[in-house]
Amino acid sequence: MTTTPPAAPAPFGARLRRAMDTYGPLCVGIDPHPSLLADWGLGDDVAGLTAFTRASVDALAGHVASVKPQSAFFERFGSRGLAVLEGAVAELRDAGTLVIMDAKRGDIGSTMTAYAQTYLSPGAPLFSDALTVSPYLGYGSLAPAVELARESGSGLFVLALTSNPEGAEVQHAVRPDGRTVGATMLARLARDNEGAAPMGSFGAVVGATLGDLSSYDLEIGGPLLAPGIGAQGATAADLPKVFGPAAHLVVPNVSRGVLRHGPDVAALRGAAERFADEIRAAVA
């Protein structure tokens, strides 16, 4: 008796494009920061973390294209915090909401392989649809994550042009070939996305607060995760000005702008829907 092997998973880029077309491109961050826990009337403890995460998942699962949990705010509670994160990831993915794990991992060799297996191996407790990674040990150091993402149908978001002021000293540094380090990362991503349709699975993190980026080629064939909308000062209306012809690739990330409406689930969902409508109109 022969058995039919399981179908290969659809690549992350294709699934993300479909979700963006259905729900709008908004990605909502789940960042259980101590100040937000306090604003919600919750304790800065595992019970508060659990209640915060429960309300966020109830509000967002099945209602937005993607959600980006910030791993550090769960990790600080140790194994109990990671258990909360594991449960949230599973529930969101079961509801069809894509999970972009914001862990910003980056290392070399077997260590990078272990990081990739933690987040990109099907069956792993924290298996996510995509992972944020740091390429500043060299883009080639990400090879284990790139390879595993291809195998598992997952994606990566590589830090390229971040919005923090400190990032400029590395990302805007000019290489001997005259290209900045940030531009080099974008070019390497474009190469890894070659031939992918309707969108590649290897994206860049590019801040929405950076102003005119017309000197950079942002048409990398993959998504552009854009933090900075809301509390950091950027608006949906800024997206076409910042990203130009690449605006159709942008996945704008809003965290505090949505989360400040908690703990009421309906209020959280309503805020996410308003941001999604504004962003969809701005980039249409």
pLDDT digits over 1-23, tens only?
555 555 667 999 999 999 999 99
State the Cα–Cα distance between residues 69 and 96, nearest whole angstrom. Answer: 15
241 a catalytic residue = no
- Cβ atoms 99, 129 nearer than 8 A: yes
Paired with 159 in beta bridges are: 205
Structure tokens at 7: 């179908």
Choice among 33, 54, 93, 104 that is catalytic = 104
Residue 125 pLDDT: 97
- Cβ atoms 86, 128 nearer than 8 A: no
State the Cα–Cα distance between residues 169 and 128, nearest whole angstrom. Answer: 31
| Average per-residue pLDDT for the chain | 95
**Cβ atoms < 10 Å from Cβ of 245:** 10
98-155: per-residue pLDDT in tens? Answer: 999 999 999 999 999 999 999 999 999 999 999 999 999 999 999 999 999 999 999 9
Residue 9 pLDDT: 78
What is the residue type of 41?
G
Fold of 24-283: TIM Barrel (3.20.20)
End-to-end CA distance of the chain: 52
- Cβ atoms 189, 144 nearer than 8 A: no
* pTM passes above 0.75: yes
Kindly give the confidence (pLDDT) of every residue in the chain, 284 residues in length, as a single tens digit, with 9 standing for 90 and above.
555 555 667 999 999 999 999 999 999 999 999 999 999 999 999 999 999 999 999 999 999 999 999 999 999 999 999 999 999 999 999 999 999 999 999 999 999 999 999 999 999 999 999 999 999 999 999 999 999 999 999 999 999 999 898 999 999 999 999 999 999 999 999 999 999 999 999 999 999 999 989 999 999 999 999 998 877 788 999 999 999 999 999 999 999 999 999 999 999 999 999 999 999 999 87
Count Cα atoms within 13 angstroms, Cβ side, for 227. Answer: 23
45-71 per-residue burial string, b: 16 or more CB within 10 A, e: under 16:
eeebbbbbbbbbbebbbebbbbbbbbb
What is the residue type of 182?
G
- Cβ atoms 26, 275 nearer than 8 A: yes
Structure tokens at 97: 């909401």
